[in-house]
Amino acid sequence: MRILSVDDKQENLYMIEALLQGHGYSVSSAANGAEALHLLETQEIDCILSDILMPEMDGFEFCRKVKSDSRYCHIPFVFFTATYTGAKDEAFALKIGANKFLQKPCEPDVLLAAINEVLSCPEEGEGVPCPVPGAEDDVLKLYNERLVNKIEQKMLQLEQEILAHKKTEDILRQSETNYRRLFHSIRDALLVTDVHRRIINCNRAFGDLFGYSLDDLLGKQTLVLYESELQYHQMKQSLATLNDDSVQIFLVQFVTKEGKIFPGEVNLFRLYDDEERMTGYIGLIRDVTQRITAEKQQEDLEARLRQAQKMESIGRLAGGVAHDYNNMLSVILGYAQMGLSKVEPGMQVHEFLQQIVDAAQRSSAMTRKLLGFARKQPVVPKVLDLNETVSGMLKVLQRMIGEEVQVIWQPHANLPPILIDPSQVDQILANLCVNARDSMPTGGKISIRTALVSINDMLRLSHDQLSPGASATYGII
């Protein structure tokens, strides 16, 4: 069994290696999470024993990467820490996927028992991603809260050590180093100000996001970070309502050093000294451009769905109306045709009845189009003259597209008949003409022509659904 030991202190790595090797384990060591991830790619590891507070990549981030990777998520993960020792720290560690949480120092038997326990109960699902419990934003929120809380604890601890124990300058520098490691391990941009909103510190992530160094901003008002003075003053009003009982998040338009404006989500905390006097603010800033874009895309999809549902309802309504109207037309057409059979041609009544029959047949064609639009009309192919069918649609098309667009009809002489549903021809013509009109908002010409073409092998390269031979076609140019 090979154990991966991760700790930024060489003496801790040496002691753990000696203990585990003395009990029959093989041990690999790493100084931080980033180095440990590299070792996982090259070695077979059976268990991970990791500290939390480390430079470059801390234990929490390392655990989250391991548990979200299908290659490593089955490996048992044990935290062994002397810095994060609270109940909330343990709860967060287990939330992100750790199997055990041990505090330094502990008896060797306790450490060995914990490792034996997790090795005897391997996790199931090797090769399958193991998602961290809880939403990503919730995990990051808890992560930031634990880190900010630790910063406050470290600052308070530092002051107490100076006042109570008069530590030497070397101890002070070490404490400052630990604070900096923790401070710069936060993934979100972190800004520290005094009570007057003058900048006194920022982490590396802040510099990466805004393009400023601490020297650029030290002592300046946070106004330089806002897209407008209005937003700066609105945040001042929000700070007046900030309390310690709840986490308050604000959406602000920020501007980088290069002038790029982006939406940022700000999580604010108050800073206090050891006498509970407020000394300033800590702001955690996250660029939410991608999230807002994704939300807008989701809104657009929902709007399209609602429009599609409306069109479906309109289609059903059109189908119902067309069906009832067609029934009435059948009665009108039937009686008119019966009347024609009773009247001699040439009589004025015969002409009147013929006009009724013609109008009823034209109306019946309109109802077929409505039924076709509603997708309730079955396809009924007929042998027809394509030129005659297109000619019958010209007046309707001209009214449909308006006077600003001229329709030019170019029929091909001696065109053979085709087999197609007439209503589908009408629908195709209407769709093509409307699309052409929409592309010419200032007016123009639409040419409709029929032609007899031969489908050869070259044409089939781009239209493989066509069959070889002669074919009558029409199109819009």
Kindly state whether residues 151 and 249 are assigned to the same domain.
yes
Kindly state whether residues 124 and 228 are assigned to the same domain.
no
Torsion of CA 80, 29, 9, 72, to 10 degrees: -40
Please report whether residue 124 resides in a domain: yes
Please give the Cα distance from 262 to 252 (Å, whole number). Answer: 8
Kindly state whether residues 206 and 222 are assigned to the same domain.
yes
Per-residue pLDDT at 45 = 94
Provide the domain limits for residue 29: 2-133
End-to-end CA distance of the chain: 75
Please report whether residue 294 resides in a domain: no
Kindly state whether residues 151 and 242 are assigned to the same domain.
yes
Please report whether residue 324 resides in a domain: yes
Please report whether residue 207 resides in a domain: yes
Per-residue pLDDT at 173 = 65
The verdict on whether omega for the bond into residue 345 sits within 30 degrees of 0, i.e. cis, is no
Kindly state whether residues 170 and 71 are assigned to the same domain.
no
Among 338, 196, 212, smallest CA distance to 271 is for 196
Kindly state whether residues 216 and 339 are assigned to the same domain.
no
Kindly state whether residues 365 and 390 are assigned to the same domain.
no
Kindly state whether residues 102 and 20 are assigned to the same domain.
yes
Query: What's the token pair of residue 152?
Result: 């406050």
Please report whether residue 292 resides in a domain: no
Per-residue pLDDT at 245 = 67
How far is the CA of 380 from the CAs of 292, 377, 421, in angstroms? 49, 9, 5
Please report whether residue 344 resides in a domain: yes
Kindly state whether residues 359 and 326 are assigned to the same domain.
yes
Per-residue pLDDT at 20 = 95
The answer to whether residues 231 and 266 touch, using CB atoms and an 8 Å cutoff, is no
Kindly state whether residues 249 and 310 are assigned to the same domain.
no
| Total number of domains constituting the chain | 4
Amino acid letter, 120: S
Kindly state whether residues 339 and 394 are assigned to the same domain.
no
Per-residue pLDDT at 430 = 81
CATH number at residue 438: 3.30.565.10
Please report whether residue 138 resides in a domain: no
CATH number at residue 115: 3.40.50.2300
Question: Chunked in runs of 10, what are the mean pLDDT values of the chain (477 residues)?
Answer: 94 94 94 94 94 88 91 94 83 90 92 93 53 52 62 64 62 64 72 90 88 89 90 85 74 91 88 85 88 89 84 70 78 86 84 83 71 61 87 80 88 87 79 86 89 74 66 45
Per-residue pLDDT at 127 = 42
